[in-house]
Structure 1
Amino acid sequence: MTINNKNTVRMLSVVAAAIWLATSTSVLQAQAEAGYELPDPARYEEAIQRFEAMDEQSPAPEDAIVLTGSSSIMFWNNDAPDDLAPLTVIPRGFGGSVMNDVLHFLDRVALTYKPRAVLIYEGDNDTGRNNIPNDVIVEQLQTIIGRIHAELPEARVYVLSVKPSVARQATWPIAQDLNARYQQIAAADPLVYYIDVATPFLQADGSVMTDIFVADNLHLNEKGYDIWAASIREVLMAHEAQYE
């Protein structure tokens, strides 16, 4: 239907804006009542632009494996290509991101590369710092998977478990519940794989190792990354080596 009346168009625009504002307000109110607030993804705009500048200078390969997620990926960006060789990877970890940030930047941080697979590490900051409910995190992950498969129907998605850490022992039970839900998502979709990077960091009594972190007791040191990389490489090689 074509609308020619300018007043009608203006009125519809006002109504649409009002609906958007009401919806946004209700979402923010719901977050406040639930005791959490989704951080503004715009805080990572410069980081994403740096990736895009890198791509202009040296285009990333297509049909590779994109690695994205929070700082555990970001601090691995430089070493991941060697750690995962001969697999072809595009490291795109950014800051202390949460699942909603990957969802927001999915086109620019992953889909733009037309990857054959996408590996995601999120949930650590969601549960350990921002108090984002697991229901919300899972819904965001499912949306991400849906968007990946809508554009790249044969792409595999690898979801890393949240790792344990000394700094976030208090929220580890919540992260464990989230990990179990990640496993359920992978079990229900033949194109989704769960990678357990939690168990290799646990001691026999179930407590987290204490010699795998830098001074903040949150981020991994060299020993920690050796364990992390080996766990990820084992799963990726089993499924992705055939495509190299």
Structure 2
Amino acid sequence: MRLIFLPILLAALLVACTAVEQTTARAPTPPVAETVSSPQWATDMAGFAAGDARDPPPAHPIVFTGSSSVRMWRTLAEDFPGRAVLNRGFGGSQLRDATWYADEVAIHYQPRQIVLYSGDNDIDAGRTPEQVRDDFRAFVARIRRDLPGVPIAWLAIKPSLARIDQLPAQQRANALVKAEAARMRDVAFIDLATPMLDADGRPRAELFLEDGLHMNREGYALWRGIVAPYLR
């Protein structure tokens, strides 16, 4: 009886192995890991390194990084007196760029806190709110790998006159990131967006430069008052 069933068993095993091989062959190729949105950021990183060599940064600063809304915040030191702050914003960047260059813009300074503004250019470039949320998660994971105890603060994507058509996507991205941050340890979501809207839900024109995208001194004064209580 055993001799009769042995060929049947071998045939069944052969069929099963063939099916596994076919399934494996049809499995989708994993996506290629993203790099940076532009090669120009290497120049910015070299500029940061050269600046550090000329004028060494403070020890264990609060690092502000992200896109042009941080880069153009030239009054950081006077806005937060008594605190060691360091501006490492690079204009035009996306959230994944801050993750890619996390060593250069944050980690090697051994900061006491990281404040990040990003997502604005991501939405403008066509990335979805869900991708912004996932890129935010990746940024936090990258920082946590080397600096597990350093608090992170996310500055909500700001509304602007120049990108008013993107406001719904910006608001959804903010909501997704806020929910994600609420599940994380020592990660704060700072709502800068709501106070920048008027009673009709439109960006307040008095907060912006002529380009309708970047903020003037009044805009940064608003940010200063909101951000200050979160700094450590």
Pairwise same-fold verdict (TM > 0.5): yes
- One of 175, 182, 186 as aligned partner of 1:180: 175
Aligned partner of 1:80: which letter? L
Report the alpha carbon displacement of residue 38 of structure 1 after superposing the two structures with TM.
Answer: 6.6
> TM-score by structure 2 length?
0.83
- The CA distance in 2 between the partners of 1:23 and 1:197, in whole Å, is 40
SS at match of 2:50: helix
- The CA distance in 1 between the partners of 2:127 and 2:147, in whole Å, is 28
Please give the per-residue CA displacement for 1:14-63, whole angstroms capped at 9, x wherever unaligned: xxxxxxxx979x559xx9xxxxx9722x2111111111111112221232
Q: Does 1:229 align with 2:224?
A: yes
Report the alpha carbon displacement of residue 190 of structure 1 after superposing the two structures with TM.
Answer: 2.6
Give the paired residue count: 205
- The CA distance in 1 between the partners of 2:154 and 2:75, in whole Å, is 20
Q: Does 1:155 align with 2:153?
A: no
Contact 1:118 1:155 in 2 (8 A): yes
SS at match of 2:98: helix
Report the alpha carbon displacement of residue 234 of structure 1 after superposing the two structures with TM.
Answer: 2.7
Q: List, as ranges, runs of 4+ consecutive aligned residues in structure 1 with deviation greater than 3 Å.
A: none
Aligned to 2:111: 115
Residues 23 and 108 of structure 1: is their aligned pair in 2 closer, same or farther, counting only changes over 3 Å? farther
Aligned to 1:64: 61
- Aligned Cα RMSD in Å? 2.1
Percent sequence identity over aligned pairs: 34
Q: Which has the larger radius of gyration?
A: 2
Contact 2:36 2:100 in 1 (8 A): no
- One of 57, 71, 75 as aligned partner of 1:74: 71
Please give the per-residue CA displacement for 1:112-158, whole angstroms capped at 9, x wherever unaligned: 1011111110011111x201122222222111111211211210000
SS at match of 2:205: coil
Structure 1, gaps ≥5 residues long: 1-21, 32-36
Structure 2, gaps ≥5 residues long: 1-27
Report the alpha carbon displacement of residue 171 of structure 1 after superposing the two structures with TM.
Answer: 0.6
